[in-house]
Amino acid sequence: MAQHNFSHSSMLATAIPTRRSPRAVERLCNGMTPPGMTVDQTATLLALAHCTGWSADLIAHKLKDVTDLELSAEVVWSVHDVWVKERGGEHLEADDIDMMHALLRRTGVDMPNFGVPLNRTEYPKSVKFAECWSPKNAPDCPLFNGFTAEARKRSKSYLSYVERKSAYGKFTPIERELVTQFGSTIALILQDVLKRWARAMRAKLRVEPELRPIRDLEHVCLIIDYLEIFRDSYESKFGKMEESNRGQPGETKDGCVYITSTGYGAKIFLGLMMADRIHVIDRQRRHLREKIGFADLDISTLGDGSKNCPICHDPMSVENPEGIKEGPIELTICCSQVIGRRCLKAWLREFVYGDMLRDTCPICRFKFPETFMEKLFEMGEYKDRLILEHRHESTESG
Q: Over the stretch 318-329, which tens digit does the pLDDT of each residue have? A: 887 777 788 899
Give the angle subtended at the CA of 328 by the CAs of 322 and 333, to the nearest 5°. Answer: 140
Specify the CATH architecture of the domain 295-397.
Answer: 2-Layer Sandwich (3.30)
What gap in Å lies between CA 277 and CA 112, rounded to an integer?
Answer: 43
pTM tops 0.75, yes or no: yes
Yes or no: say if 120 and 53 are a contact pair by the CB < 8 Å rule. Answer: no
- Mean pLDDT for the stretch of residues 298-312: 88
The answer to whether residue 66 scores a pLDDT higher than 80 is: yes
What gap in Å lies between CA 276 and CA 295, rounded to an integer?
Answer: 29
Which H or E run includes 61? helix 56-67
Residues of the chain with CATH 3.30.40: 295-397
What gap in Å lies between CA 18 and CA 95, rounded to an integer?
Answer: 13
What gap in Å lies between CA 258 and CA 248, rounded to an integer?
Answer: 11
Q: Is 6 helix (H, G, I), strand (E, B) or coil?
A: coil
Of 174, 167, 170, the closest CA to residue 194 belongs to: 170
Q: Over the stretch 35-65, which tens digit does the pLDDT of each residue have? A: 999 999 999 999 999 999 999 999 999 999 9
Pick 289 or 117 by higher pLDDT: 117
Yes or no: say if 33 and 8 are a contact pair by the CB < 8 Å rule. Answer: yes
What gap in Å lies between CA 74 and CA 351, rounded to an integer?
Answer: 71
What gap in Å lies between CA 347 and CA 358, rounded to an integer?
Answer: 7
